[in-house]
Structure 1
Amino acid sequence: MNFSEVNIGLFRLVNDLGKEHEQLNIIFTFLAEYMVFLLAISVICIWFTRNKESRIMIFCATITFTCAFILGKVSGVFHSNYQPFVELSDVNKLIVKEKDNSFPSDHTILFFSYCFSFWLFKRGWWIFWILLALLVGISRIWVGVHYPFDVIAGMILSFAVAINVYIIVPRLNGTKKILNVYEKYEGKLFQPFRKTKGSKTRNY
């Protein structure tokens, strides 16, 4: 059994579950399509806790995603395949997706870049995010838009970049300088709101 046969076999194993358990399709469709918004909201909320360590974590996670995404696009030049719903028959396709190169999975790179970073920094509910990222990766197979190896490649890329970023970036002087400059201007931006709030409090 060659690489392609294994890839297709694993895809069928997961994707056919949607035909057998149709009641779960709405859950996996939500995970595949909309969980990215929960991630975005969570990242913004963590950032605005104004905790220094949390901001370094988000900063590193964003660098991880950017680098892994670029590496993913480069790897897609050397290996490419269309989505399963394009190449295979009788695919349980649950979401709208245009035909393009699906290797590696961008959704997987996005989620695992942040979730691996959460895990490395061990901040908050990191185990929840790792499990959620796994479910998102599986959901992309379930809804018919990615092969398992598209997802696995995204995971490997994200993990490799996350480890290197975690080791290097927090130790760079430039990291703290960038955050300090940002926080300086953030303070100036929100200062009028704080003064207004303070004035209202004193009036009471």
Structure 2
Amino acid sequence: MIKNIDKKIYFALYNFTVSHGLISKQVVFITKFSSKVFSFIYFTVGAWLIYKNDPRLKNFILIPAAVYLIVKIIPLIYNRSRPFAEYKLKSLVKQREDQSFPSTHSGSSMIIALTVLNINLKLGVFMIFLSVLTSISRIMVGVHYPSDILAAWIIAITLNFVGVKF
């Protein structure tokens, strides 16, 4: 059942994207450059925390590192093909035909947004919005299923919650 829902949502978004040139260009731009935006903001806030000798720096570094490690280990256990490779479609961005579950882009962008949210409410909310755009763009360009995104978000939200509470 989940696989059918995944497939329907994936094809609805992917087909919409490939049939609308302007949308396609915008989505490709988002998926290509969002990681640079997230990296810039993450390192800028990290530098500010170092400068201020802020005790939140430890969580700011360790929680995203844990999320990244988990989203990189899971594909070693559960190997799921990327949708463009599985269905012999054209990916709108250059992408290896490796594992798609869970989405590293989505997990990384969401945990960075959440760790920034723990530091600055307005910037964090803005980054969550950007993370959602980034994640949806990964489906629209053909490289992820919706469940890849959802799993990455669950990992990020759970580890952020655990990291902040303990």
Q: Give yes or no for TM over 0.5.
A: yes
- Give the Cα separation in 2 of the matches to 1:75 and 1:128: 28
Q: Once the two structures are aligned, what percentage of the paired residues are identical?
A: 18
Confirm or deny: 8 A CA contact 1:61 1:113 kept in the other structure: no
Confirm or deny: 8 A CA contact 2:107 2:155 kept in the other structure: yes
User: Is 2:49 aligned against 1:51?
Assistant: no
- Give the Cα separation in 2 of the matches to 1:160 and 1:24: 32
Counterpart of 1:132 (choices 123, 126, 130) is: 130
- Give the Cα separation in 1 of the matches to 2:155 and 2:91: 26
Give the 4+ runs in structure 1 shifted more than 4 A: none
- Give the Cα separation in 1 of the matches to 2:121 and 2:2: 37
- Give the Cα separation in 2 of the matches to 1:46 and 1:119: 11
- RMSD, aligned α-carbons: 1.9
* Deviation per residue, 1:33-92 (Å, 9 max, x gap): 121111111122223332344x725x4233122212222234334433111111114x45
Confirm or deny: 8 A CA contact 2:45 2:116 kept in the other structure: no
Residues 15 and 62 of structure 1, relative CA distance in 2, 3 Å threshold? farther
- Bigger radius of gyration among the two: 1
Residues 112 and 69 of structure 1, relative CA distance in 2, 3 Å threshold? same
| Structure 1, 7-16 or 65-74: larger mean CA deviation | 65-74
Listed as ranges, the gaps of 5+ residues in structure 1 are: 169-204
- Give the Cα separation in 1 of the matches to 2:22 and 2:98: 29
Q: Which residue does the alignment assign to 2:139? A: 141
Using CA pairs under 8 Å that are at least 6 residues apart, name the structure with larger relative contact order, 1 or 2: 2
Confirm or deny: 8 A CA contact 1:19 1:92 kept in the other structure: no
- Give the Cα separation in 1 of the matches to 2:75 and 2:2: 17
Confirm or deny: 8 A CA contact 2:42 2:116 kept in the other structure: no
- Give the Cα separation in 1 of the matches to 2:114 and 2:45: 15
The count of aligned residue pairs is 164
